[in-house]
Chains A and B, each alone.
Chain A
Amino acid sequence: AQSVTQLDSHVSVSEGTPVLLRCNYSSSYSPSLFWYVQHPNKGLQLLLKYTSAATLVKGINGFEAEFKKSETSFHLTKPSAHMSDAAEYFCVVTPYTGTASKLTFGTGTRLQVTL
């Protein structure tokens, strides 16, 4: 069994300030974890992924996330927010091994960036 909890449904930051979007997971197996971003009227786009290699993962557009097994967390961060980062972000978990077909999505965090 697996699940993912995004701790904030909405986060608002000022442009140029750090971003933190929180994600906790549970999984019976070693997980693969992903962050996807959805801009308005668009499909989801992969930001970054963790697949049991380095625990600090760098993605596109300056985002990164750190896998912390002891805390079962995979929080998404960015040092300095840009207006174009305003979107909805989804944390996703799936088992790492085997022919896994089931992905579990979080309920999403809407990031607002203000001037």
Chain B
Amino acid sequence: EAQVTQNPRYLITVTGKKLTVTCSQNMNHEYMSWYRQDPGLGLRQIYYSMNVEVTDKGDVPEGYKVSRKEKRNFPLILESPSPNQTSLYFCASSAGRPLWGNSPLHFGNGTRLTVT
């Protein structure tokens, strides 16, 4: 089954303790992206990757890191989490080029992160 898998689904941590949220897709998609979803703000893009070893900042990259060493994986790293990073996070992938209309995003089921 074609899918985007995020882990964990729920995560509670304390300020400053490094964490990684994993994302993996089995569709051989080139494009992958991370979003955070906050009430009243919709989804905001954190980082995206057009292909292996190619990553770029989205709208809200501060406090986050990503890497794309393999095509299927795109982990999100919080080196020193803070309470304002408490949010619902989504990973998504897409065949992605060149026309978005023919390659929509496939989303994971989300990771709910709480930083105390």
For the complex, give the distance between the alpha carbons of A46 and B101 in Å: 11
Residue of A nearest to B109 (CB): A43
Q: Give chain A nearest CB distance to B3 CB in angstroms.
A: 10
Number of interface residues of B (CB under 8 A): 28
Given the contacts A43-B107, A43-B109, A98 and B98 also touching, CB distance less than 8 Å: yes
* Residue B18 CB within 8 A of the other chain: no
Given the contacts A43-B4, A43-B108, A46-B105, A96 and B100 also touching, CB distance less than 8 Å: yes
9 additional contacts, CB 8 Å, given A44-B90, A101-B56? Answer: A32-B100, A34-B100, A43-B109, A50-B101, A52-B101, A90-B43, A99-B97, A105-B35, A108-B42
Q: Which residues of B contact A (CB under 8 A)?
A: 4, 31, 35, 40-45, 48, 50, 56, 58, 90, 92, 96-102, 104-105, 107-110
Q: Which residues of A contact B (CB under 8 A)?
A: 9, 32, 34, 36, 41-46, 49-52, 90, 94, 96-103, 105-108
